[in-house]
Structure 1
Amino acid sequence: MKRLMRVFLAIIIVSAALLFAVNRLNSSQGYTSGNVLTVYNWGDYIDADLIDRFEKETGIKVIYETFDSNESMMTKIQQGGTAYDIAVPSEYMIDKMKEEKLLLPVDHSKLPNLKYIDSRFMDLPFDPDNQYSIPYFWGTVGIVYNPKKLGGKEITSWNDLWDEDLKNEILLTDSAREVIGMGLNSLHYSLNDVNRDHLQEAKQKLDALTPNVKAIVGDENRMLLENGEASIGLVWSGTANEIMWENEDLEYVVPEEGSNLWFDNMVIPKTAKNIDAAHEFMNFMLDPEVAAQNTEYVSYSTPNKEALKYMPEEIVNDTRFYPPPEMTERLEVYENLGQKNLAYYNELFLEFKMHSK
């Protein structure tokens, strides 16, 4: 027991020493707790050069951490171990975080660049009047595919994926809302359907897709599709854009039955310690030239209408990634389904994954 206590004490001393060293280093560089900003974002979802520029222009040190799902992000904020000043959740999670009082209101008077956001992306149902969130990126969920590898076959519908000729050709993203949503959409049901009979019907239809499913993967779908190791993938539009940049044989389509229209917004978690810096960072990212640079790096669609003027015409005129209103009108935004219904979605998705092995 004494030896265990000595080991425990040694760990505490080493941890304290490391923390002291980090604080001393930050202080020697002019950074104190008052001018440090902690940002929590999706992986590879910002141009690192812009973080450097923000630090140089403001004197604020940015600590940047990443997450791989809305759920893991929310769990960490709920735990409160790290005082995040900025986070970038998706629309349904913003609604849920509001319910659980995990967000601080945004002061629009400190965001003069907010005027550059297209009104189509403001005042949406998940956050009326944008009281708690500011638009960052938006996009769609769809299908990327290689017509050459498919013998010239064109894909326009979710139901095209059930073609027997596509055996072992499809990569699905490892996400319950997207995969279960694909099943629901293929049956012309809503992406936010919580009817158990409809969900079971979607699950049974997805089970019939398993011969065509090569794998259910995360970020590695990008490399596999780029290299031609699979012909079809269920992806987010920005991922499709990046893949198509590397492999010009690929196409992207939003299926005719409909799909998801998603939004990622910047928020200030209740854990925030530097609220002024959070607003300064938001306003910086809303600057049109900054937003344009960030958009070209990330490849997702910007809600900043003024930023489009600083971007190449071939990007802003590409209707696959900047669809016209008549297309976006038939798309759905994910709603907060509530803990019980979301758990059921996850249960069905897990069963489907087990069936696909």
Structure 2
Amino acid sequence: AIMIELDLLAEINFDNIPNFGNIDETFKDPPYDPGNKFSVPYQWGTTGIGYNADLFDDAPGSWSYIFDPTMASENAGRISMLNDSREAIGAALKYLGYSVNSTDDQELEEAKQLLIQQKEWVAAYDSDGFEDLLAAGEVDIGHGWSGDYFAAAEDAEHVWYIIPEEGGVIWTDNLAIPKTAPSQYTAEVFINYLLQPEVGAKITNYTWYGSPNKASTEFIDAEILEEPAIYPPPEVMEKLEFLRDVGEATAIYDRIWTEIKTE
């Protein structure tokens, strides 16, 4: 949305991308780009909880495991959080029963106090290698992106991921074309190639992120399709929210995050 507002992206000519018809309706017309004028989704995922399956008798399927004083304190010094204001505050809001896009002052204050309280139990705020911390046994539970945890699980069998029962964030990775691109047509032909069913499936089979390309389904590994933390059932999808542009409240989120990190 920011790149669109800054007029950095070219409007896409979908005459050159007939495979856009393969995209599931769920992922069309997103809040950050109404009508998909400037972007095309090619994979999607969620933000939830990664954990060491060897240490939990039951899957930690609630944000309580990283926020509730009684439960989270049991993993004191062994919790990681994304170093991302919207994601971290969003997780706290979801735990409290609010929208991840809240702009309510009282709700944001509650989320802030929750994250300040949690800070003493957090080993790291990390958005770049959070899955490696879990794989290496440096943390036991963490807040992060689905595909990264599943990718880590290929080499570290104790790593697994779950979407908390309260819900969480859903997002898409998108393809877009800068206005300064030397050949918009070539870029659109490439995007069309990536939206071929077999190509979309190869991406998902490699990254373990869901594919918004419904025509790819028959080529995606059954292990991935049958994993509810990658392809959640409808009742879970209903609890997931896209992060929306919160306008002037962005500054409030940034201020809160700074206060949390410096507290």
| Shorter-normalised TM range | over 0.9
Tell me which of 177, 182, 189 is aligned to 2:86: 177
Name the residue aligned to 2:206: 297
Give the aligned partner of residue 208 of structure 1: 117
- Which structure has more helix as a fraction of its residues? 1
Select the residue among 147, 155, 166 that pairs with 1:238: 147
1:28-71 alpha-carbon deviations (Å, 9 max, x no partner) = xxxxxxxxxxxxxxxxxxxxxxxxxxxxxxxxxxxxxxxxxxxx
Q: 1:352 maps to what in 2? A: 260
Task: Tell me the residue number matched to 1:160.
Answer: 65
**Mean alpha-carbon deviation: is it higher for 259-268 or for 153-162?**
153-162
Matched, 1:114 2:53: no
Instruction: Name which of 24, 44, 52 aligns with 1:146.
Output: 52
- Which residue is equivalent to 1:270? 179
Unaligned runs of 5+ in 2: none
- Structure 1 residues 35-74: aligned runs within 5 Å: none
Amino acid at match of 1:304: N
Deviation (angstroms), 1:312? 1.5
3-state DSSP of counterpart to 2:46: strand
Aligned pair count reads 259
Pick the aligned partner of 2:136 from 216, 227, 236: 227
Within 2, Cα distance between the matches of 1:313 and 1:186? Answer: 32
TM-score with structure 2 length normalisation? 0.92
Using the alignment, how far apart are the partners of 2:53 and 2:4 within structure 1? 43
Unaligned runs of 5+ in 1: 1-94
1:83-128 superposed Cα distances (whole Å, 9 cap, x missing partner) = xxxxxxxxxxxx3333332222111111121122122211233323
Match of 1:251 in 2: 160
Alpha-carbon separation, structure 2, partners of 1:119 and 1:198: 32
Alpha-carbon distance between aligned partners in 1 of 2:171 and 2:186, rounded to the nearest angstrom: 27
Amino acid at match of 2:36: N
1:301-320 aligned at under 5 Å gives the runs 301-320=210-229
Q: Is the CA contact (8 Å cut-off) linking 2:79 and 2:139 kept in structure 1?
A: yes
Matched with 1:280 is 189
How much does 1:153 deviate?
4.8
Aligned residue for 1:235, secondary structure, equals strand
Higher-Rg structure is 1
- Is the 8 Å Cα contact of residues 136 and 266 (structure 1) preserved in structure 2? yes
SS at match of 1:211: helix
Compute the RMSD of aligned alpha carbons: 1.6
Q: Which runs of 4+ in 1 moved over 4 A?
A: none
One-letter identity of the residue aligned with 2:86: R
- TM-score of the two chains, using structure 1 as the length reference: 0.69
Structure 2 match to 1:322 = 231
